[in-house]
Structures are given as structure tokens and as C-alpha cells.
Amino acid sequence: MIAFKKGPLLKWWGAVLVLGCVHAPLAAAGPAQGKQLFEAKNCGACHQMSGPVEAVPVAQRSKIKGPPLWFAGSKFKNEWLIAWLEKPTALYRVKYGTLEQGANSHPALSKADAQEVGAYLMSLTDPALKAGAVTAEKLNRRKMLEAEKLFTKKQVCFGCHQYASKQGDIGGFSGPSLVGAGNRLQADWVHALLKDNVRYYPNARMPVYGNQAFEAFTDEELKLLSQYIGNL
Amino acid sequence: MALTRNNLKTSALLAVLVLVAPASGLAASAKENFEWYCVQCHGSDGTGKGINSVKELPVGPMDLSNPKEMKKFTGEQIIQTLTRGGPVNTLDSLMPPWGNRLAKDEIKALMQYVRSLCKGTDCPK
């Protein structure tokens, strides 16, 4: 408090200290440091960090440089995320935002930084998403086949997403690969995405299957489909 | 006086137009929507050679430039397919439903755009 009277520089630092003190109890050390790193490395230049993100006109969408991350903590599995930040592998099968086939290269973080940034990203959850709608349990063989039909026949999800079928990895290229999606995605988030993907991806090329003009799936089917993706 | 008032009216109208123009510019043209949502499967000329056209899929994306294919559907049927997906007109479900993503007038405009991709003398109107 006394510091405030001693001159502009001290005042400044005083303010920083006060801010730091206010923020510290809200977030554990990991997320706060991770946020600083995230900003220092300018990750926000390509990722939208506050949401829900607004829709922009289709003609301007190719300027978006990376997927939004404001709901990262609801979407990703912690271990996958930290490992990926250290050693990113291409998820999309197109140059991001285009229809040109290819892989995106991505900046990598050191192991320590990946842990901090991972903790920060995992702290960003969607407050509107209710956890527990879909179980992460393994599906038995019969249920797996039933769910695969939803994915390949009722709607042809693999028209835009690669997935691991019995014949190997097959599918279209415009969406991110779902090979190994079970290690990466939380089933509850997949369920919310399939119901209303405009909330998460207002600017995507993906159709909306959920509950507006009509429903392409019943909610039971959506839950099974989400659990299936959690098993991929 | 009257003139000035008219001028004022005109400039007010102009101002409104200027204000409205960018907002209505937000709505995409059918060509822009086609390029963003449809080219991934149908290709930019509509012939079905988009990047998702891979051999493992149940059917190929329909060639929208082929009059023989396009004559099979009325404009109303195309609007149904675009809204609810292939199965409403006994087509494959690889043709996705767009009715939750696009507004009704955007879908209607897309139907007209699809008609314009047809090549040949016997194209439906």
C-alpha cells in the first residue's frame, strides 16, 4: 500500500503485485504460468481464446489460422494434450482453412512448457457443457457394430473424417482425422458438438446434426455415437 | 426549403443504405456457400471431384453438371435434399443435411446455383 505513494514505477509494480495476488488464489500455479507462456509464444495469433466465437462470412473463413481453443478443457484428454504440445502430429488432412490436401506443421513446446500450457488449456472449459451425459466406458462388440453403422451409414461421417476401419484408415480429407480420437477427445464434448456444433465451430464445413430445423439422430443415437468416437 | 428537405431525405436514405449494405453483405452469396460447404465433395465445377471423393465411400458425390442426373429432380426436391440430406429423395446419406447450418433462403439460392452448374442443351431450368 505504501508503495503506491512512492512514484510511478513503484506504483506500477504495486499494481502488478496486487493483480498477481488477486489472481493467484483463483488459479493454481500451472494454469497461470501456462497462460503467460501461451501469450509469450504468441499462440493466440492463430487460436481464438474467448468464446463462443462468432460466425464470420464464408468468404473470409480461409483467413482463420487455427482451431478455437476457448473450450480446450472440455474437449481434450489431459495426457493426450500435453504429449501433443510437446510433439505435435498433423490432425487435419488439409492445410488449415483450405481444401488443399496436406499436413500443417505446428510449433512444439519443451516438456516443461507443454505441462504448463497444457494445465492452462485444460482450465478453459465451456461453462454450458454438462459433464456426465455420455459414459467413457468401452463398448462391447455388438454395440460397437451398431454405433459404426451410425457413423458410416445413417450419416456418412467418414465422408469427411478418416477413421480406423477393419480395412485400415479410410475416409475423406476435409475434416480432422478421427483415428485414435478416443485418446484425444472427451465423449461428453463430442456429444455436445454433434448436438450443436455452431457453438464450437460456427465457421466449420461440418453439417449440424442436432436439434434445430430437424434432428438427424435421436439423442440416444447421439450418445452412442459419441461413446463410439470415445472408443476409436 | 423543399429542396433542402428532399436533399436531407435523400441523404438520410443514402445513410441508411450505407449502414445496411455491409450488414446484408454478411449473408453469403450462393457461390460463396457452395465453395465453402459443397466443393469439398462435389468439386468447384460440381462434377464430383472434391477432396472427399475417395474410393472407399458408398457412392461418388453426384456430378451436378450432368443433365441426365439433374433432370431427375425438381427444384423443390433439391431443396428437400439440401435441407435434410440424401435419404429424403432415396439418395445416399453421404449427401449431408444442411438445414440446421444454412438459412432457408440460402438453400433456395444454392438450388438455383446448382442448376447453373448443369452443362448441356437438355438441362432442367
d(CA A64, CA A61): 6
R_g of chain B, CA atoms, integer Å: 20
Q: Specify which residues A165 forms β-bridges with.
A: A168
B41 to chain A: which residues are within 8 Å by CB?
159, 172
Is residue A36 within 8 angstroms of chain B, CB to CB?
no
Query: All domains of chain B, ordered by start, with CATH?
Result: 28-116 (1.10.760.10)
Q: Is the pLDDT of residue B84 over 90?
A: yes
Q: Is the pLDDT of residue B8 over 50?
A: no
d(CA A12, CA A10): 5
Which B-chain residues 58-117 have CB contacts (< 8 A) with chain A?
58, 83-85, 92-94, 96-101
How close A104 comes to chain B (CA, Å)? 17
**The three three-digit cell numbers of residue B119, written as one number:** 452443362
Q: Specify which residues A163 forms β-bridges with.
A: A170
Q: Is the pLDDT of residue B122 over 80?
A: yes
What is the helix (H) or strand (E) element at residue B2, kind and residue range? Answer: helix B2-25
The CATH number of A31-122 is which of 1.20.120, 1.10.760, 3.30.460, 1.10.10? 1.10.760
A:B CB pairs within 8 Å: 88
Q: Quote the pTM value.
A: 0.88
Query: Which has the closest alpha carbon to B53: A99, A70, A120?
Result: A99
Q: Is the pLDDT of residue A2 over 60?
A: no
Q: How far apart are the first and last CA of chain B?
A: 53
Query: Which has the closest alpha carbon to A89: A30, A219, A177?
Result: A177
pLDDT of residue B65: 96
pLDDT averaged over every residue in chain B? 83
In tens, the pLDDT along B15-55 reads 443 333 333 334 689 999 999 999 999 999 999 999 999 99
> Band of the pLDDT at A213, cuts 50, 70, 90?
low
Q: Is the pLDDT of residue B7 over 80?
A: no
d(CA B108, CA B29): 11
> Band of the pLDDT at B125, cuts 50, 70, 90?
confident
Q: Is the pLDDT of residue A3 over 50?
A: no
Is residue A102 within 8 angstroms of chain B, CB to CB?
no
CB contact under 8 A, A57 and B25: yes
In tens, the pLDDT along A150-188 reads 999 999 999 999 999 989 999 999 999 999 999 999 999
Of A61, A173, A210, the CB nearest to B51: A173
The CATH number of A141-229 is which of 1.10.10.10, 3.20.20.150, 1.10.760.10, 3.40.109.40? 1.10.760.10
CATH 1.10.760.10 positions along chain A are 141-229
Q: Specify which residues A164 forms β-bridges with.
A: A169
Q: Which amino acid is at B74?
A: T
* Residues B89-110 as b or e (16 or more Cβ within 10 Å = b): eebbbbbbbbbbbbeeebbbbb
**Which alpha helices (DSSP H) does B26-103 contain, by range?**
30-33, 39-42, 67-70, 75-84
> Can you tell me the mean pLDDT for B96-121?
95
pLDDT averaged over every residue in chain A? 88
How close B79 comes to chain A (CA, Å)? 14
Q: Provide the percentage of residues in chain A whose pLDDT is more than 70.
A: 86
pLDDT of residue A212: 65
In tens, the pLDDT along A124-146 reads 999 999 889 998 889 999 999 99
Is residue B31 within 8 angstroms of chain A, CB to CB?
no
